[in-house]
Amino acid sequence: MTEAELEQWVLLANWGAKRVEGLRLFPSSRDLVLKWAEVMVAARRSGRRIETPDAWIAATALLYDATFLTHRRTDYLGVPKRRFSDD
């Protein structure tokens, strides 16, 4: 889902070929699927609900050790080891 949303963003923003190539260096993978499952279970075990799309975003950020950028931190309170842009 995250990968599809990024591809949509690329099309809407009319990115050039070099920039698109850079984005596609990080394809979805089995590791991403497993990280998504871990995020969903961690949120549930902590008593927090996380929506499926938010879990994909969190899983992608965690897998690639990327910083979360969001206006709704509360959506990610059940995510382990999260790092926000201003932490």
Residue with tokens 């991403």: 32
Residue 85 in any domain: the answer is no
Residue 84 in any domain: the answer is no
Query: Do 38 and 75 form a contact (C-beta atoms < 8 A)?
Result: no
Give per-residue burial for 36-62: e unless 16+ CB within 10 Å, then b. Answer: bebbbebbeeeeeebeeebbbbbbbbb
Residue 82 in any domain: the answer is no
Cα 49 to Cα 14, 64, 78, 85: the distances in Å are 35, 23, 7, 22
pLDDT of residue 30: 86
Residue 81 in any domain: the answer is no
> Which residue range is the domain that position 31 belongs to?
2-76
pLDDT of residue 87: 53
pLDDT of residue 38: 93
The tens place of each residue's pLDDT in the chain, 87 residues long, gives 777 888 898 999 999 999 998 888 876 688 998 999 999 999 999 999 899 988 988 998 899 888 877 778 888 878 877 666 655
CA torsion sign, 8 to 81 to 30 to 17?
A: positive
Domains in the chain, number:
1
